[in-house]
Amino acid sequence: MLENIRNIGIVAHVDAGKTTTTERILYFRGTKHKSGDVDEGNTTTDFDPLEKSKGITINSAAVTIDWDDTRITLIDTPGHVDFTAEVERSLRVLDGAVGVFCAVGGVEVQSETVWHQADKHRVPRIAYVNKLDRMGADFFGCVEQMKEKLLGPSDALPAICALPAGQAGEFQGVIDLVEMKFILRDKSDKANVKYSLVDIPEPYKAQAEKYHHHLLEAASHVSDEIVELILEEQPVPKDLLRQALRKGTLEGKLTPILCGSAKNFHGIELMLNAVVDYLPSPSERPPVSGTVPGRRGALASQEREKVERRPDAKDPFSALAFKTVSESTGDLIYLRVYSGELHPKDEAFNSTTGKHERVARIFRMMGERRETLEVAGPGEIVAVVGLKNTATGNTLCSTSAPIALEEIRFPDPVIAQAILPDKTTDETKLADALGKLTRDDPTLKFKTDPETKQLILSGMGELHLEVSVEKLMRTPGVKVTVGRPMVAYRQTLARAVEVETRFIKQTGGRGKYAVIYMRFEPLNKDQVADRAAQAEEEGDKPDPNGLYFVDKIIGGVVPREYIPSVESGFRDACVKGAKYGFQCVDMACTLLDGKYHEVDSSQDAFKLAAIECTRDAMLKAGIVLLEPIMKVVVLAPERYQGDLAGDVNRRRGEIENFSSDKGRCQISAYIPLAELFGYAAELANFTSGTGAFSMEPSHYAPVKEELADLRVAS
């Protein structure tokens, strides 16, 4: 039954314990006879050789378990910011999530990032505070950080459903605040799966009573019955409390908080019960919405007609391809089925590409293992083979009732490096390998620089590029070396200008004639947002680079058939700006006036005129070089605080805040990406290996004029 399905993601900061938590879930349920360990490289979800060697999750991986009468599909996602696209596409198709937090590290920067990604997709979630057995563990401090950084005064109230009985070296286990019982692990059970509910140990009874009362108060925000029982000083039935917690979680008003130690098997059963009790089934999520794909000759209003699909096997089939994995026999495509049913040998219509596909086989995934299925119904996450022209973000649907679901949007790359093929490298194999890499990972891009002829690979960070190159090198016949990483700068106009271009050439026979007068202006953040909103209202996609063209021609001084050529020329000139050669962003171009010749004017002439006009405008207005700024969070012993602050300043960084607790300091800062190459090694050097950091893309900011030419030259 649909009500007995849960599709959830395990999300958190790197090293918070996501993969270990997933391993314990699989083992606890009996899916594995031996629990894997990240350090030993034998976990179910980190099966890629690079994941085993580096000890981190790089690719999201799906596993499925049965918990009582509920089937739970889990997607273990990466915690490193370089692989945030894996989290983005997973959250796009999930119904709920478990945020895992380290009781020692608290709410770390990537925890905030993935939490707010889930906010964007309106994914209900619960929190699991892990590693309570570690030295320095602070459950209540972690909860306070969650209130401050994640939940806020106007967001979901924290509903603490479990307490630790002791912490760090004194950690004994977990107290269930719904049942008001202590979960006692059977120490004689070497398999670590036998537990019993017993009375709460005396030292923790008063604290448990206090937080049970807080839990009832939180639940009363969504249940009038609980309010009445509290006012009448009557006991609140456990089932009523669970119903209220479920209602509050699905409505986004409550966030249940669990705790434990995944490595030592504490709190896993309670967390799984919470997944079933509080997170939604596919039937409890809003129907998926999309549009009727456009057909030739159709009116624009018809192309944008809104349609919905309910999670019902009787509705027309619809699914979203959210991940591809290139294999030697063809692509493995991960699908989230939203409506209808899919069988092997079925034909599906790819409404994104307009092509028909035939499904060969359907699988339920268990890491890298596969279970063959005869049917995939609504609410299921499966993988299929046999599709030839389907990529991430494509919609598969019924031919008779087509629908186009919203595509998955990924951030642009922020860093690039040259790839230098060895003389022995087969160019065809290299191109094929790069094509597979970029098809599987939409945040990875490659191109050949038209001037240097170098092959340029772009990604989300140094680790991302390092991993991608290592994957490339695993291809037989491909051997490459890499150049120094390069920053993906952007540029925009320094001021607004108006430029007239007279593109008139006569070389015998038919000439080229185009005269245009255009205004160019830089757009600030708010103006870009307004233009994007206007584009969406008109049924167009917002430009990813913030480039907008406006036609204000009156009286036909430039014929309608030439205006698209003017826009095309403007956009082509912005791909590589006039001064620095980087992509131009956040600019508006308005075509104000022009002239044409009945014989010599052509689309090509007006396009070339627009290219020349745009480049002249850049030189006349001046260029502002923009560089990517990263939000960096550094953790180290307090004695290094001064050194850390000085290092941030040396890197042209801006410190956002300092904090210190229990002998460790934390610095949050904004630092240009260009100043962060090799930072991991340098930080380890001057903190004697005790420092750690994380970073994520924040925004683009102008480079000071005296540094701009120097930075680009270097």
Is residue 294 within 8 Å of residue 303, measured between CB atoms?
A: yes
Distances (CA, A) of 187 to 183, 198, 265: 12, 14, 12
Q: What is the pLDDT of residue 298?
A: 41
Alpha-carbon gap, residue 252 to 120, rounded angstroms: 12
Give the pTM: 0.73
Structure tokens at 217: 């108060």
Characterize the bridge pairing of strands 664-672 and 623-637: antiparallel
Alpha-carbon gap, residue 363 to 213, rounded angstroms: 46
Q: Which residues of the chain carry a pLDDT beneath 50?
A: 32-33, 36, 39, 296-303
Alpha-carbon gap, residue 606 to 595, rounded angstroms: 10
Q: What is the pLDDT of residue 134?
A: 92
Q: 296 Cβ partners below 8 Å, 6+ apart?
A: none
CA angle 591, 597, 602 (to 5 degrees): 70
pLDDT per residue as tens digits for the range 371-425: 999 999 999 999 999 999 899 999 999 999 999 998 888 877 877 788 888 888 8
Question: Of the candidates 204, 215, 296, which has an alpha carbon nearest to the alpha carbon of residue 248?
Answer: 215
Residue 189 burial class via C-beta count within 10 angstroms: exposed 0-12, middle 13-18, buried 19 and up: exposed
Query: CB neighbours (10 Å) of residue 424?
Result: 8
Q: 273 Cβ partners below 8 Å, 6+ apart?
A: none
DSSP one-letter code for 266: B
Question: Of the candidates 384, 371, 364, which has an alpha carbon nearest to the alpha carbon of residue 322?
Answer: 384
**Top CATH class, 626-713:** alpha beta
Q: What is the pLDDT of residue 127?
A: 95
Alpha-carbon gap, residue 547 to 670, rounded angstroms: 26
Alpha-carbon gap, residue 503 to 508, rounded angstroms: 16
Alpha-carbon gap, residue 223 to 215, rounded angstroms: 12
pLDDT per residue as tens digits for the range 480-510: 888 777 788 899 999 999 999 999 987 666 7
The two domains 415-488 and 626-713 share their CATH topology (first three levels equal): yes
Alpha-carbon gap, residue 694 to 16, rounded angstroms: 13
Q: What is the pLDDT of residue 328?
A: 78
Question: Of the candidates 107, 125, 11, 96, which has an alpha carbon nearest to the alpha carbon of residue 60?
Answer: 11
Q: Per-domain residue ranges for the chain?
A: 2-212+257-284, 305-405, 415-488, 491-621, 626-713
Question: Of the candidates 707, 535, 540, which has an alpha carbon nearest to the alpha carbon of residue 627?
Answer: 707
CATH code reported for the domain at 2-212+257-284 = 3.40.50.300
Structure tokens at 221: 């925000």
Pick the CATH number of 305-405 from 2.40.128.720, 3.20.20.450, 2.40.10.10, 2.40.30.10: 2.40.30.10
Largest CA distance in the chain: 101
Q: What is the pLDDT of residue 48?
A: 62
- Give the position of tokens 């790819």: 350
DSSP one-letter code for 471: H
Q: Compute the chain's Rg from CA coordinates.
A: 28
DSSP one-letter code for 315: S
Query: CB neighbours (10 Å) of residue 214?
Result: 14
CB burial string 128-163: b at 16+ within 10 A, e below? bbbbbbbebbbbebbbebbbebbbeeeebbbbbbbb
CATH code reported for the domain at 491-621 = 3.30.230.10
Query: CB neighbours (10 Å) of residue 12?
Result: 31
The 3-state DSSP class for residue 326 equals strand
Sheet holding 162-165, edge to edge: 162-165, 173-176, 181-185, 195-198
**Top CATH class, 415-488:** alpha beta
